[in-house]
Amino acid sequence: MGRKIKKEAESPPKDVFDPLLIESKTPETVVLMLSSPENEVLAKACDALYKFASKGDENKLTLLGLGALEHLYKLLSHEDPIVRRNAVMVFGIVASNHDVKKLLRELDVTNSLISQLTPEEDIVIHEFATLCLAHMAVEYTTKVKIFEQGGLEPLIRLLGSPDPDVKKNSVECIYLLVQDFQNRAAVRELNVIPPLLGLLESEYPVIQLLALQTLEVISKDRETRIILGENKGLDFLLNILENNELSDLHIEALAVLGNCLEDVHTLQLIQLTGGLKKLLSFLEVSTVPDIQKNAAKAITKAAYDAEIRKILHWEEVEKFLLSLLETDNDGVKIAASQAISAMCENIDSKSVLGLQGIPQLVRLLSTDNEELKEAAVTALTNLTTASPRNASVVAEAEGIEPLMNTLNAQRDGAVANAIAVLTNLSLQEPSRISIQSHGIMSALAGPLRSTNSQVQSKAAFAVAAFGCDADARTELRNAGGLGPLTELLHSKNEEVRRNACWAVMVCASEELTAVELCSLGALDILEEINLSTKRKNKFSEAALEKLLDNNLSQKYSRMGYLSSSNIITNGFYDCGQIKHGKKFLSLEELSKQELTDRRAIIFINAK
């Protein structure tokens, strides 16, 4: 900030005074001269202080310590234009220092500076007043002050100044001010778009860049995007992209267009004028990673709207996203995977992306980059959800083994999504058999112990999906998975609790597993859940019933009756009714007790 862009302005403006006499004096002496009643002395003193402050931060702090700024502040409203001009120049230079800025805020210097921005004022005053305001607008409190003191209107007017330094300082100040949403609405009302678009044709890249950065911030608001479209702003931006000599501005121009993609009205406008085709053609040939990455991110944000997804699909955005998966840059591949996830909400896109994208995404699961692995497996989740065809493509692309390996990933999101894809694949018999042969239930024992609720929920849901098979239940039991599954019944997360209840219900469909679940306390937890109107669900009630129906000895002991569908077989025993909260003992535990005068335990052993 403060770097000049025109050579002729490097030295202070020439005037009728010869400052050499004053420059030979010490700063302390020059500061004392600021109290002089003579205009000539004041002008020379200000000029000398400007040169002194220009030499570095240390000198700026010296002036601060000498109390020079309080004297100079009074000169901002001096009747002599040269005194006033030279005082403003000092403020423009010293305001880059953090400590000086603090004092300038206390002096409320912004008000005086804004009053200097009138059209009839000297261009040099415009230059240094806007420079000072740009230094100060970094602070939130100053942003508010400039807004309240009516600084936006003159700053916008100065975007049309003939002086490039004034333009540069004014646009920089506006860029800093619009970081605050209140100022974004205000500059829109003050018709900032036409002058900003005018700056895109400046011969100075720094001005073009600041104009684009400002447009990027303000085009986050829908109303601004509409005005941008009405002022042919999209053509300006596309022209920048088509001009290879302006490649330094491509990333920023794309950022503005990215915001425009989020608005159906603006997107339709770009599409109708052929701009969207131009944009995608530009993106397809670009090899700049930042451009590719930012484009994919813009598509991700835009694709949250169904109408926009439709338009993007018509323009074959999928082709561009799939090409990004082939790049060498991990950041680009992450952004492309996230955009594929977003576009999956459109059924036609899902079909196109599935056929061509799944083999590429499966390959990315073997990467060492954990973030990329997570983005790729999340895309696979979205592609295979409610899509048997895409689920088959994953299996055909030999995706089961890398998915199983992803269950050991470092990021919880990757683990949760790997489980989700495997669960989606389990709906097809050949895939389910293959997944089970890879030891899915043993692999789920770890995720069931996770502290992440998303991982817990997906893992419990997967147990419910694969637990229909007797061998799978045995595997889970042998892997020690029933303990952590039972613990998940305690979860405060509704989805985790519901899926855990569902998994228990499925696993409890045979006696061995039901008995072990009961010994782990599942029965007590489910009874407690079902007493609460908030915590119970249809699966908690069904799980309790299934546990008791496959553990008849315990059911009879608890309930005092069996239903007509319950058939007693070998191994059933009646140890009498137990009180609520008391432990139900196994036959082995009962056999170790000493004989008492209580009634005998009846045990059925027809063998």
User: pLDDT digits over 44-95, tens only?
Assistant: 999 999 999 999 999 999 999 999 999 999 999 999 999 999 999 999 999 9
300-346: per-residue pLDDT in tens?
Answer: 999 999 999 999 999 999 999 999 999 999 999 999 999 999 999 99
Cα–Cα distance measured from residue 85 to residue 116, given in angstroms and rounded to the nearest whole number: 9
Predicted pLDDT at 552 = 63
Q: Is the pLDDT of residue 12 over 60?
A: no
pLDDT at res. 566: 73
Q: Given this model, what pLDDT does residue 568 score?
A: 72
pLDDT at 295 over 90: yes
Four-residue CA torsion sign, 201, 206, 209, 211: negative
Q: What is the pLDDT of residue 436?
A: 98
Q: Phi/psi zone of residue 534: left (φ > 0), alpha (ψ -120 to 50 degrees), beta?
A: alpha
Query: What does the pLDDT read at residue 5?
Result: 73
Q: What is the mean pLDDT of the chain?
A: 91
Instruction: State the DSSP code for 511.
Output: H
Find the mean pLDDT for residues 156-167. 98
Q: What pLDDT is stored for residue 19 in this prediction?
A: 46
In the block, tokens 């109408």 appear at 307
Burial of 567 from C-beta contacts in 10 A (0-12 / 13-18 / 19+): exposed
Q: Is the pLDDT of residue 253 over 70?
A: yes
**pLDDT (0 to 100) of residue 17:** 38
Distance CA 214, CA 237 (A): 13
Return the pLDDT at 406: 98
Given this model, what pLDDT does residue 20 score? Answer: 43
- In this prediction, residue 496 has a pLDDT band, given cuts at 50, 70 and 90, of very high
Judge whether residue 605 has pLDDT over 80: no
Tell me the mean pLDDT in the region 368-375. 98
**pLDDT at site 157:** 98
Could you read off the pLDDT of 521-578 as tens digits, one per residue? 999 999 999 999 999 999 999 999 899 887 766 665 676 567 777 767 767 667 767 7
Residues 183-207: what's their mean pLDDT? 97
pLDDT reading at 18 higher than 90:
no
How many helices (H) and strands (E) the chain has is answered by: 40, 2
Residue type at 507 in one-letter notation: C
pLDDT tens profile 569-603? 767 667 767 766 667 656 666 677 777 666 657 66
Q: What is the pLDDT, as a whole number, of residue 30? A: 94
Share of the chain above pLDDT 90, in %: 84
Distance CA 111, CA 132 (A): 12
Cβ–Cβ < 8 Å for 399, 405: no
Q: Find the Cα–Cα–Cα–Cα dihedral 48, 50, 52, 55, rounded to 10°.
A: -150
CB 383 within 8 A of CB 340: yes
Helices 250-261 and 233-242: crossing angle in degrees, nearest 10, is 140
Query: When comparing pLDDT for 15 and 142, which is higher?
Result: 142
Which one has a higher pLDDT value, 482 or 26? 482
* Count of positions (residues) in the chain: 607
φ/ψ (deg, to 5) at 12: -60, 155
Please check whether residue 181 is in contact with residue 217, taking contact to mean a CB–CB distance below 8 angstroms. Answer: no
